[in-house]
Chain A
Amino acid sequence: MIVGAITTSHVPAIGGAIARGRQNDPYWKPFFDGYVAVHEWLAEAKPDVAIVIYNDHGLNFFLDKMPTFAIGAADNYSNADEGWGLPVSRPVEGDAALSWRLIESLVAQEFDVTTCQEMLVDHAFGIPLQLCWPDSSPPPVRTIPISINTVQHPLPTPARCFKLGQAIGRAIQADPSDARVVVIGTGGLSHQLDGERAGFINKPFDLMCLEKLVSEPEALLEYSTHDLVRLAGSQGVELLMWIAARGALLGDVRQAHRHYHVPVSNTAAGVLVLENPSAPALASHLA
């Protein structure tokens, strides 16, 4: 069963701050304070598995082969040098059996994902786990990484990413295991690193998205990916991962926590915890 979703920023500088123990510095405290409620929620929700939907930043994938959607199917996942000085984090446990059941279901639901028995996971996968479980490295969950291409346009649309999330939700609903699953979507919120518009942040748009993600995600599905670039910045398109994670929550959704802080590095940082108190019965939702 899916116990809920956590969507969070994954800015590399957060990893640097954690590595240097700067969580209580005046610059960082307002950001890290936003995760106390996440820890409390996780202590109650007690997930066994984290499906982490993130975007690879040129660690595992290059432009030679760029899958739109890729899923890990391994028993463990390693991080590696990303080139800019972040310490390499410890390998995390996978759940290959559940990965393959998820793959079977996704392809049956017409999401023809790229399957990866080896997959290096970058900061966009690892930093959210560090934020969620700061006292536990590696985190006390088995993981399944799912990567969405945000490097090279055309990117999948918000509507497509939402449907991917729904397909993940249905797959977990129908899964015979009793694993408690949290879906983590990482990236965003608004930011742009490149071009004369570098430093672009759009607080009103971010706050609107945070609102709609809870109660009316359909409102975000009309946007094109170019709209997202315009409104959230070149890398603000990472909102796609939040939309996918939200899609995985079927039935009633309740906000357990929300936090928003500007800036972290060049980015508007946000975190949202969504509960899934009444997921519908599984049979009627199978594709």
Chain B
Amino acid sequence: MGKTQTDSEIFGTTIFDGEQARKGYAINRMCYSLNAAANRTAFLRDQDAYCERYGLTQQQTEAVRSGKVLAMIEAGGNAYYLAKLAGTLGLDMQDIGAQQTGVTVEEFKARLAAAGH
């Protein structure tokens, strides 16, 4: 069904499907826990210990430690849950966008504005 029959890759995009959901369960569960303020405090106090408590894989723990969103996605992270981690770290969506696309925050914002023209 659909106008496009193939599920061929979309540039710079990971479809969060069953495979990703299995792979990323621990890191996403950890991020989901950050809805609670007490958990955000505990995470910020000792990130590695917090990741260990949620059973993150070594790849996931290293991705979190690196602060690199692309590495977290590679490790199975889902945007909706990673957003909570970003919020915990005080980053907004333009910070995250700039980081993932390798431009400055100002350049990223200019790109967004240009998309409206």
Q: Which of B16, B28, B81, B86 counts the most chain A CB atoms within 10 A?
A: B16
Which chain A residues numbered 261 to 281 have a C-beta less than 8 Å away from chain B? 261-263, 265-266, 268
Given A193-B93, A198-B101, A235-B79, decide whether A268 and B116 contact each other with a Cβ distance below 8 A.
yes
B100 touches A83 (CB 8 A): no
Partner of B84, one of A82, A151, A266: A82
Residues of chain B lying within 8 A (CB to CB) of residue A82: 35, 84, 87
Is the Cβ of B32 less than 8 Å from the Cβ of A57? no
Cβ B3 vs Cβ A222 within 8 A: yes
**Cβ proximity bits B86-101 to A, threshold 8 Å, 1 near / 0 not:** 1110001110110011
Give the chain A neighbours of B69 by CB distance below 8 A.
194
| Residues A58 and B32 in contact, CB atoms below 8 Å apart | yes
The answer to whether the Cβ of B64 comes within 8 Å of any Cβ in the partner chain is no
Segment 59-117 of B: residues with Cβ below 8 Å from A: 69-70, 73, 78-84, 86-88, 92-94, 96-97, 100-101, 108, 111-113, 115-116
A266, B97: Cβ atoms under 8 Å?
A: yes
Q: Is the CB of B116 within 8 A of A261?
A: yes
Q: Number of contacts between A and B (CB, 8 Å)?
A: 147
Interface residues of B in 10-27 (CB under 8 A from A): 10-18, 21, 25
A101 is an interface residue with CB less than 8 A from chain B: no
Question: What does the 1/0 interface line of A171-194 toward B look like (CB < 8 Å)?
Answer: 000000000000000000000111
A57 touches B108 (CB 8 A): no
A201 within 8 A of B: yes
Q: Which residues of chain B come closer than 8 Å to A201, judged between CB atoms? A: 112, 115-116
Contact present for B112 and A263 (CB under 8 Å): yes
Mostly, the B contact residues are helix
Contacts of A199 in B (CB 8 A): 97, 101, 108, 111-112, 115
Q: Which of A64, A80, A151 contacts B80 (CB 8 A)?
A: A151
Q: What per-residue 1/0 map shows which CB atoms of B23-43 lie under 8 Å from chain A?
A: 001001101101111001000
Is residue A112 within 8 Å, beta carbon to beta carbon, of the partner chain?
no
Instruction: Kindly state the separation between the CA atoms of A224 and B10 in the bound complex, as whole angstroms.
Output: 14
A157 at the interface (CB under 8 A from B): yes
Q: Which residue of A lies closest to B97 (CB)?
A: A198
Of A62, A193, A195, A261, the contact of B29 (CB 8 Å cutoff): A62
Contact check, A62 vs B97: say whether CB atoms are below 8 A apart.
no
Quick check: is A230 within 8 A (CB to CB) of the other chain?
Answer: yes
Which A residues are CB-close (under 8 A) to B14?
194-195
In the bound complex, residues from chain B placing their C-beta under 8 Å from that of A85 are 87
Interface: A226 (CB within 8 A): yes
Q: Is A214 an interface residue (CB 8 A)?
A: no
User: Are B13 and A84 in contact, CB atoms less than 8 angstroms apart?
Assistant: no
In the complex, A194 Cα to B84 Cα: how many Å?
Answer: 13
Chain B residues, Cβ within 8 Å of A83: 34-36, 40, 83-84, 87-88
The answer, yes or no, to whether B7 is at the interface (CB within 8 Å) is: yes
Q: Could you tell me the distance in whole angstroms from the C-beta of B43 to the nearest C-beta in chain A?
A: 10
Does A154 touch B at the CB level, under 8 Å?
yes
By the criterion CB–CB under 8 Å, are A263 and B115 in contact?
yes
- B-binding residues in A (CB < 8 A): 13, 57-59, 62-64, 80-85, 151-154, 157, 159, 192-199, 201, 203, 222-224, 226-227, 229-230, 234-235, 261-263, 265-266, 268
Instruction: Other than A83-B83, A195-B100, A262-B116, give 8 A-B pairs with Cβ distance below 8 A.
Output: A13-B92, A58-B31, A80-B35, A84-B83, A84-B87, A159-B1, A193-B96, A199-B111
22 contacts between A and B (CB under 8 A): A13-B93, A62-B28, A81-B36, A81-B37, A83-B83, A83-B84, A84-B86, A152-B21, A157-B1, A157-B2, A194-B73, A194-B82, A195-B13, A195-B73, A199-B115, A203-B116, A222-B2, A223-B3, A230-B13, A235-B79, A262-B113, A263-B113
